[in-house]
A and B are shown apart, each in its own frame.
Chain A
């Protein structure tokens, strides 16, 4: 299984069910696509993420009805600094898709998915706790793993691994 170079051309990938549905809805919402190592990644415009997820969930032909995971990657010092990553699974069609939203480091704010999938609750709290991303519309955005009074966001790249803070 040798590695093949990733495909990033929208035209070449537009037959993918998730991408096709999103493009049909709004071409402006899709900023970038990548098909690499058999995994599909779609970069979504920040304001569109909640609607895009609701759209993919409710698509009757190809429902991505299960939210597997939400996480984040810190690309400091480059900008936009944060990537919030959503892994969706289609249980009837056995297919995965990865959605990505890029956020700048100064004000990492994004809309919460709890109204689409209530299960986003803990995942978003964890991302808030460890990266300091704020999710608007989340019912209870408090630290999940770290103590309530903890200062700083441990999984950010500028957070020291050892020594006194």
Chain B
């Protein structure tokens, strides 16, 4: 285990090594990651990530907001999968309240979540391939991503910061024609994944840049707290959607792709397979979508319909009270984890019985995954650092919060 603990300070004692600064403004660091590299010629002796450039204090901000006002903040943590964050927070507060969510809302949540996963993986695939030098894939991926963003815009009016899930259900009924559009996308998408794979999987240059590169063993990845495809790429069989189901995931059938070698290529294969599994889940959600309400029957928590507000006195009163005073949540604490595209995303919400959360903590999958970077890169070539960073799929907004 000792080999995983970082040596504190970069200290080029002999003249043999030099310190190289990479980032925070570097195209392959996906935001503002700064990495300090101690290099000996072409090989990396030590690597130390430096983070915090995007720290906005969201956890502190949450403590000053009502429970329902936190939802839009959660979007901004991980801007590539806003709906996963919405879901995780909503589930945590619903668990605190003891709310039962109607089946249609749960299925819609699963549907939107898997679209988000595809969206996030497409951005990852495009940028990761571009980092390594395959430009075309980026254009292909963003073509399909555009379709998904249009769907998000359709349901929520926003392309990225959707805030579509609310505590107790879903904000709005999806508009007419939405399901047809998703169905059309779901039927087209598998052939698009084939296109990406045609460009990369069998490509000898891609293979040389990724196979056997930035390897990490299952034991090391577990000890370092890695999760998601970064952990599954090393062959650890865990997926929270299947193993600790939430939001009705137990009703869906899907495979959990695993890698063997734990190198960049295996992590790539895991995510590409996940694209196919996700579209399968979307298809199942479309086929089996139950009928019924999309909000829980809890007038003190869930905002009433606009129509009811105009005709019913009670609805108007509840609306006024929720907006002005929020709703109080019974004291307690809850840790809710979901499988985000990057791994285990967890929300730890503590309530002291008032209308504002006492503490909201986000367990960031990327923060833990980033700790694997030294193990992946030290002793390897400097050119592979970019491949390694890309393969753990970091989003700095989530790391820094």
Contacts and interface: CB of A to CB of B under 8 A. Distances in A.
Given A73-B350, A154-B57, A119 B224 contact: yes
Contacts of B333: 36, 39, 41, 98
A72 to B, nearest CB: 8
A62 interface: no
A97 B55 CA distance: 29
Nearest first, the 10 A-B pairs at minimum CB distance are A119-B225, A118-B4, A3-B98, A145-B52, A69-B363, A145-B55, A119-B224, A71-B361, A140-B8, A94-B243
Q: Which has the most chain B C-beta neighbours within 10 Å: A68, A73, A119, A140?
A: A119
Interface string A66-85: 11110101100000000001
Contacts of A159: 60
Contacts of B358: 73
10 contacts: A6-B332, A85-B348, A91-B222, A91-B238, A94-B243, A98-B333, A118-B1, A139-B7, A143-B52, A145-B51
B346 A37 contact: no
Contacts of A39: 333-335
Contact of B95 (A37, A73, A144, A155): A37
Interface in A10-47: 36-37, 39, 41
A117 B333 CA distance: 24
A121 interface: yes
B114 interface: no
Given A37-B332, A114-B5, A139-B8, A122 B368 contact: yes
A154 B346 CA distance: 21
Contacts of B332: 6, 36-37
Contacts of A118: 1, 4-5, 223-224, 371
B40 interface: no
Interface of A: 1-3, 6, 36-37, 39, 41, 65-69, 71, 73-74, 85, 87, 89, 91, 94, 96, 98, 114-115, 117-123, 126, 130, 139-140, 143-147, 154-155, 159, 161
B66 to A, nearest CB: 15
Contact of B370 (A1, A67, A120, A122): A122
Contacts of B361: 69, 71
A86 B361 CA distance: 12
A37 B98 CA distance: 8
B6 A140 contact: yes
Contacts of B222: 65-66, 91
Q: How large is the interface on B (under 10, 10 to 19, 20 to 34, 35 or more residues)?
A: 35 or more
B139 interface: no
Contacts of A155: 59-60
A33 to B, nearest CB: 14
B244 A87 contact: no
Given A37-B334, A145-B400, A2 B60 contact: no
Interface string B336-370: 01000000101010100000001101010001101
A119 B371 contact: yes
A71 to B, nearest CB: 4
Nearest to B50: A144
Contacts of A41: 333
B134 interface: no
A135 to B, nearest CB: 13
A87 B346 contact: yes
A66 B337 CA distance: 14
B223 A161 contact: no
B99 A1 contact: yes
Given A91-B238, A118-B1, A161-B64, A66 B225 contact: yes
Q: Which has the most chain A C-beta neighbours within 10 Å: B98, B333, B358?
A: B333
A150 to B, nearest CB: 10
B344 A2 contact: no
A32 to B, nearest CB: 14
A6 B59 CA distance: 27
A71 B5 contact: no
A2 B98 contact: yes
Contact of A144 (B1, B52, B100, B348): B52
Contacts of A115: 1, 5
Contacts of A66: 222, 225
Interface string B361-401: 10100011011000000000000000000000000000011
B98 A69 contact: no
Contacts of B286: none
Contact of A119 (B60, B335, B368): B368
A117 B400 contact: no
B52 A117 contact: no
Contact of A117 (B96, B223, B337, B344): B223
B275 interface: no
B236 interface: yes
Contacts of B12: none
Given A2-B98, A36-B332, A94-B243, A68 B52 contact: no
Nearest to B368: A119
B32 to A, nearest CB: 12
B90 to A, nearest CB: 15
A36 to B, nearest CB: 6
B365 to A, nearest CB: 10
